[in-house]
Structure 1
Amino acid sequence: MRITNQLMNFTNVYNYQKNSSTLYQSQQAFSSGLKIQHSYEGSAIYVDAARLEYEGNLLKQVETSTLKATEFSKNSDQALNDFVLKLTEFKTKLIQAANDIHDATSRNAIANDLEGIKQNLIDIANTTINGQYLFSGTALDTKPIDSLGNYHGNDQSIKAVIGPNQTSQYNIDGEALFLGSDNDYNKIITTNVNLINHYNKLEHPNDAVKYISVEDDLRDLIGENYRSEEYNKVDKMETGDFEKDKLVDQDTTFFLQGRKPDGTTFATKITMTPDSTIQGLLDNIGYALGNDKDNKNKLVEVTMNNSGQIEIKDIRNGNQMTELHLFGLTPQQSTEKYKVGNYEINIDPATSGNYKITTTKDADGNITEITAVGNNNQTYTINLNNTNQLQVNNQVVQNIGNPPFALDLNDLGNNGIDANDFTTFDPNDADQVREMSSTKVRDKDGSWVDVSELSDLATIEENVKNGKVYLTEFIKSGFEDTLGAKNNATDYNKLQFEQKDNILTGSVPQIIKGKNEFATDATKIKDVAGAGLQDNPDSNMTMHIKSKNGNYYEVKIQFTDIISAATPPATSLSITQVDQDGNPVNPPANPVYQGNIMLGKYNEATKTTDGVVTTADDISYKQINDIVAMVAAGNMPEDDISNGFNENMKKLFDTVNTIPLPPNIPNATTVKSELKANINDPEIHTIIDKAVDTAFNGAAAADVNILKNIKDIVINDPVYATGRFEAYNKAVDAASAGVNVELNYRGQMQITDKSQTVTGIEVTIFEEFSDDKPEFGKEANSSVEGSLFNFTANNMISIDEPSVDIFKDLDDMIAAVREGSYRGNPNGTDARTTGIQGALKRIDHIQDHVNKLHTQIGSFTNVLESSGTRANMMFVNIESVKSDIIGADLGETMLIYKQQLMQFEAMLQTSSMIGKISLLNYM
């Protein structure tokens, strides 16, 4: 091989560059303290170092965020600590108020102190740190509690990062704190009428009032009320009259309506003998609510407090479904009297059972006519003529004396109708009063029956007014009925929403069965209903609404349309204008609307919103709210096609659905013609024609099922349904500008009149009962399905329940102190107060609720502090590991540098020597 100068130069340059690079790397490692400067110098080292760098930065971030979060949680902890102290002070004041020594002045002073404490609590609830509210959820710039105690934040939690894919909450949102629920608490409800031992009052008239106890019996509860006031006036009941055989036929029937712990509704009648104990009544109430008679499946505890009030505790923790209304009816020994004008007529009980007696009344409730129909269909009509003379079957009774009169219906007209038929009745003659008295009552049809056979509240109320029964009251609420009168103890849920300024609110929360959560607008009403919406074809939701413009309307949602053969059957919606008493008026356009509840559904294929008829189980509270809003605002759907078609179909259906059948049963041509009457839309005509042809399918004449099928086909036709939805939705949109209807945070329906400071709107929502679905069973000791829904009800009052509403609860407590109500007080300013005793029970729950969250925020703080400490320690460890992986050993680096330097110098020296060699050195 021949070595040339060029090869030697190349080799020298290569060696120089290589050694220079190695020497440079050593110098860099020595000066920087790092093994490598670039990733290509050592990929394994670089990857490990980058990963450790990321983890170190993350831990630094965790340390920073936990520090800030810890400060937030510590401030929340301190605020809750102050909150608990103020609640303790509030309770102390309540205990002071519970003493009987206070007069109105001192009670007001305590109430003022409580108001001050409540304001302090609001201030604590609105605590801010660095401009952020502690208890507003994620709405950190929103003041959580206003001056009325309403919450305006949200229910969202704020979280800090405490590690890879790890977060920790560090706030308590106001919804959980101020409006939360405790699943370890029970619902406790109470009556508010103090039941008195009337027998003791009769026996010891000068003694202090003695309240009823569980050891007493019904005779003690009823006392002298087994006889009417008129009877007692002339023959006062004595203690010796309370023997069982002297109270024959005077059992007491208790009427119960409500909701069992499982959410199903019921209406039960319980008939008990006079010697039955009060404990027996409490047991029967428990059975009605679902307790097993063998005491193996106890769902509720029913007790009597020392103020003569019934208390019911739901055994299941966290359950808040239980609801109850009750009253008792005892037949009084009393006369059956009617007053027509100035003529008081007492019917002889010996013949009363042979006649059905009904009355006709004027607008003021005065009787204008008595109609008695005998078993032989003999009818007697007793009224006044134009000159106010008494007449029977339009024959004036001549030479009649002064009232009151006794009337034997069997003798009426035997020898002509004359004054001898109306004999004198002397209310001061004990023997005559006794002979004319009985314990029977009139039912809805006017039949002579026992109290236990009554089945509707209207007839019950009529017998109470007539003095035929003694009413044992348990609950009074102070609501107004549909006519605006203060409700009676017999009223249950046919009551108006409570009004305050421009807002109407239902008193009953809508609670989802099985979940015990408050319903929202999106909730399906079937999830709250006390039974299946279509289990009974007569089930409905009825509304009486006075609109903003002063008109009255009846709205009825029939969950099962009788003119529907679909599976499930269609529903129907009708809106009818009525007068103040609920009687239909007859303007040209009445009903105002007949059709269906509609919903819009987006059609992806056509990019349009199609109309859909909503089935019963798909109806949401939002849709119910929309109906209430458009009627209350006076914005009805302008839909002549829907009104016309449904009216025409109803006429046809009524014609075909008769026995015997009409002589001329309509055929397909006739049905088409009648269904299209007054509808001037060719497209709708085509839809009807096709539906009729499809439904008839060769049949010669219409029957009920054919008409049902026709209606189902028409209302579900996409073109027909979309047109109806557009008209329906237009009314809903127009109504929303003036009236807002929604379920509030406690599931209560709330109606806001946007254009008035004091609204004139009135709303009542209930279920209308019928002969096929009576309010109560027609037999004694019966139980039937109750009302599907309650929106406002004269039900037992809640002492405690799993959910809390702290500031509203405190307001109720303060009102009880100011009123001086120690327990429920139906005659106070707030008939539904539970009094100071109930307040003490509730304040204990509120304290426990806040303490739980106080403990929770403490645990959050501990987690954050430990996470921050751990992050700091881990950062140090990572830095140490990273130093081991990428850090250069200075001693080792120095030795390597020296070796490389020596090699470099040797390479230079060798290259120099080789460069000096020439051919002369070999010659």
Structure 2
Amino acid sequence: MRITQNNFYNSFVADQQSIKQQLDRLNQQLSSGLKIKYGYEDPQIFTDTLRLDYEETTLTQAVNVSTDAQNFANNTDSVMFQFTDALTRFKTLLIQASNGANSDGNYFAISNEMKSLKEHMINLSNSSINGRYLFSGTALDTKPVDSEGVYHGNDGLMKAVVGAGVEVPYNIPGSDLFLGEDLNFSRKVTTNIPLKDVQTDTAVSLESTIADFTGKSDDYNFFIRGRNGDGSVFENSFTMTADKTVAELLGEIESSFTPESVDVTLENGYIQITDRQKGRSLLDFHLYAENSVDSSPVPFMESGFAGADASSYDNIDFAKSDSVTLTGNYSQIVKSDNSYAVRGTLLSDVAGASLAGGSLELSGTDRNGNAFSYTLDLDNPTDIFSNQINNSDGTPADSSTLTYGQLLDAVAVAVSGISDQGSFDANVAEARKWVDVYLDSKGRIVVEDKVGTDTQITFNMHDSKSGFATPGASALVFNANNALEIDDPKHDLFESLDLAIEAVESGMLYPEGTSAVNPRNPGIENALEKIDHVLEHVGKEHTRIGAMSNSLNYSVERNETLKLNVQTLRSEILDTDIGEATVKLNQLSLNYQALLASVAKVQNLSLVNYL
């Protein structure tokens, strides 16, 4: 093949451009520190870099989210330290008040400091960081606790996304802290009228006899009714002679419950019953006795309800909680999971016995002051105007399908004082303009007059089987002269504080069924047990937020490490190896210089040189 000058020139130009491009690329890599500037230069490096950039951005976001969540948790932890300190001081004052040697002045001073501590704890409960309340659940802009200690937040958990499909909670909602439930606690209840020896006016002992606290040698008939820990209801009656001991009386009471389900004890003259199974809130009882000769009563509990005596259990008018509101004191609790009933809960899920063939008696005065009374047949429920109550699918409700929402609506129609609108649904719609009937946060029925300022409404609702004259125990109870709660798996922190303050303010060491202040206050001694429970619960929640904070800290550290690994891998893929690039640059520079030198020599060759 003949090498012409043109061929030589083209070859030179191609080699020169190739080397210059390589030199330019190496100079660019050295100056920018990157192997490529544009994606087309190396698609593989470009693709890997995009993927790693995305992972780095994701990890950075996870670190930022985790850090913010950890700050929120740490602030919560700090507030809970202060909360625990205040609660501990509150308990110390309560112990001081339990000293029977305190004067009225001492009780007054102690109660004032306890009130201040409660206010301080309410302020702590309303702590906010950067405009976000710590204890309101996911309702971050809602003030969680009002001045009365009522919780207004929700039970939502805020969760930080700390990785792919990984979420870590970082808040303690007030529903858990202030209204929590501890399954390692048992329900414990007590009478509020002590048994005292009529001769010495001191509390009886287990060896004391019936005659010792009645003062008579007659036989006595005892009547007991209530609920077992599993929610089933019972009633029992028995007769004891005057020479029987208090220990034997306690044995009869225990045998009225499900065998081996409760412990019955005598504490300073008060009969106390404890559920042996933890985590249940259904245990309840009412006890009453009569002389078999003259029917003179022996009360064991009084609740101060108007028109009710010591023999009354659940046939009792709802009490006014303010000028327009009436409230039942008996929580509606689902037997299967110990939760409070809501509008959609079936009555049969709460009832302590079958509702088939049962009925409820509703009576009182409506908001216009007119008396009313009607029987709600649970097998064929209607409103006060005999309009059928139907289920959501249009079928008639019965004892197995009737819900609390339907029952509350029937109550609303009865107390509203409206005229018949022709159907249950139309009556409910009209009644809601005037009254509101609902279940509060503790499953208690509340009747509220929405228009009046001093309501004329009175209301009583009880099972038709109420009272010993009717065979069978009440399957449903809405308001009761029942035993006082000492402790329960469920608790209300601020209500417990209020009861303790009230007991100290009144100098009430033990329950006083005849108290004009609050016959249902368990007293200072029993309040101590409840405050111990509250303190333990707060400690558990404090530990929980600490665990959350630690988990978030681990997440931050893990994501920072992963982010560093991604940055290192990205650097290895994209960043220029300065040493390698410098060597290549020097080699290409020498090659380019050699090319130029070779071309110069070839261009100087001529046949003249060989003539």
TM bin, normalised by shorter chain, reads over 0.9
Match of 2:120 in 1: 120
Q: Does structure 1 residue 842 correspond to structure 2 residue 550?
A: no
> In structure 2, how many angstroms separate the alpha carbons of the residues matched to 1:764 and 1:51?
70
Matching residue within 326, 332, 344 for 2:287: 326
Correspondences of 1:892-907 after superposition (within 5 Å): 892-905=580-593
Correspondences of 1:792-811 after superposition (within 5 Å): 792-811=479-498
Q: Secondary structure in 2 aligned to 1:843?
A: helix
Correspondences of 1:492-511 after superposition (within 5 Å): 492-499=313-320, 500-511=322-333
> In structure 1, how many angstroms separate the alpha carbons of the residues matched to 2:181 and 2:156?
16
Q: Does structure 1 residue 851 correspond to structure 2 residue 539?
A: yes
Question: How many angstroms does 1:135 deviate by?
Answer: 1.3
Q: Does structure 1 residue 302 correspond to structure 2 residue 94?
A: no
Deviations 1:541-586 (A, max 9, x none): 22114211111222432122xxxxxxxxxx23151xxxxxxxxxxx
Correspondences of 1:51-90 after superposition (within 5 Å): 51-90=51-90
User: Unpaired segments of 5 or more residues in structure 2?
Assistant: none
Matching residue within 354, 367, 375 for 1:556: 375
Q: Does structure 1 residue 786 correspond to structure 2 residue 482?
A: no
Match of 1:488 in 2: 309
Deviations 1:455-499 (A, max 9, x none): xxxxxxxxxxxxx3132211111113xxxx2x1111111111121
Q: Secondary structure in 2 aligned to 1:219?
A: helix
Gap change, CA 1:312 and 1:918, over 3 Å in 2: farther
Gap change, CA 1:477 and 1:110, over 3 Å in 2: same
Match of 1:597 in 2: 389
Matching residue within 506, 510, 514 for 1:823: 510
> In structure 2, how many angstroms separate the alpha carbons of the residues matched to 1:919 and 1:731?
123
Question: How many angstroms does 1:272 deviate by?
Answer: 3.1
Match of 2:170 in 1: 170
Gap change, CA 1:910 and 1:731, over 3 Å in 2: farther
Question: How many angstroms does 1:88 deviate by?
Answer: 1.5
Which amino acid letter does the alignment assign opposite residue 598 of structure 1? N
Correspondences of 1:377-776 after superposition (within 5 Å): 468-480=294-306, 485=307, 487-499=308-320, 500-534=322-356, 537=357, 539-560=358-379, 571-575=380-384, 593-601=385-393, 611-639=394-422, 727-769=423-465, 775-776=467-468
Gap change, CA 1:284 and 1:18, over 3 Å in 2: farther
> In structure 2, how many angstroms separate the alpha carbons of the residues matched to 1:131 and 1:219?
66
Which amino acid letter does the alignment assign opposite residue 334 of structure 2? I
Which amino acid letter does the alignment assign opposite residue 243 of structure 2? D
Which amino acid letter does the alignment assign opposite residue 112 of structure 1? N
Match of 1:215 in 2: 207
Question: How many angstroms does 1:59 deviate by?
Answer: 2.9
Match of 2:558 in 1: 870
> In structure 1, how many angstroms separate the alpha carbons of the residues matched to 2:255 and 2:12?
110
Deviations 1:588-620 (A, max 9, x none): xxxxx113212444xxxxxxxxx4422332222
Deviations 1:327-378 (A, max 9, x none): 122311xxxxxxxxxxxxxxxxxxxxxxxxxxxxxxxxxxxxxxxxxxxxxx
Question: How many angstroms does 1:274 deviate by?
Answer: 3.6
Which amino acid letter does the alignment assign opposite residue 95 of structure 1? I
Query: Bigger shift: 487-496 or 266-275?
Result: 266-275
Asked which structure has the greater CA Rg, the reply is: 1
Contact in 2 for aligned 1:633/1:739 (Cα 8 Å): yes
TM-score (norm 1): 0.62
Contact in 2 for aligned 1:268/1:777 (Cα 8 Å): no
Q: Secondary structure in 2 aligned to 1:613?
A: coil
Gap change, CA 1:815 and 1:916, over 3 Å in 2: same
Gap change, CA 1:622 and 1:7, over 3 Å in 2: farther
Which amino acid letter does the alignment assign opposite residue 847 of structure 1? L
Gap change, CA 1:173 and 1:920, over 3 Å in 2: farther
> In structure 1, how many angstroms separate the alpha carbons of the residues matched to 2:4 and 2:346?
99
Identity %: 34
> In structure 1, how many angstroms separate the alpha carbons of the residues matched to 2:6 and 2:435?
101
Which amino acid letter does the alignment assign opposite residue 489 of structure 2? P
Deviations 1:295-339 (A, max 9, x none): xxx221110112x1100111111111101111122311xxxxxxx
Coordinate RMSD, CA, aligned: 2.7
> In structure 1, how many angstroms separate the alpha carbons of the residues matched to 2:12 and 2:323?
102
Question: How many angstroms does 1:75 deviate by?
Answer: 1.9
Match of 1:269 in 2: 237
> In structure 1, how many angstroms separate the alpha carbons of the residues matched to 2:42 and 2:362?
81
Match of 2:37 in 1: 37
> In structure 2, how many angstroms separate the alpha carbons of the residues matched to 1:218 and 1:734?
56
Match of 1:650 in 2: none
Q: Secondary structure in 1 aligned to 2:277?
A: coil
Matching residue within 257, 270, 291 for 2:225: 257
Query: Bigger shift: 184-193 or 86-95?
Result: 86-95
Query: Bigger shift: 909-918 or 211-220?
Result: 909-918
Question: How many angstroms does 1:279 deviate by?
Answer: 1.7
Deviations 1:741-785 (A, max 9, x none): 21111111112212123322112111113xxxx85488xxxxx64
Contact in 2 for aligned 1:265/1:787 (Cα 8 Å): yes
In the alignment of these two chains, the number of paired residues is 609
Which amino acid letter does the alignment assign opposite residue 396 of structure 2? V
Contact in 1 for aligned 2:313/2:482 (Cα 8 Å): yes
Query: Bigger shift: 789-798 or 77-86?
Result: 77-86
User: Unpaired segments of 5 or more residues in structure 1?
Assistant: 202-207, 227-249, 292-297, 333-467, 561-570, 576-592, 602-610, 640-726, 779-783
Gap change, CA 1:7 and 1:746, over 3 Å in 2: farther
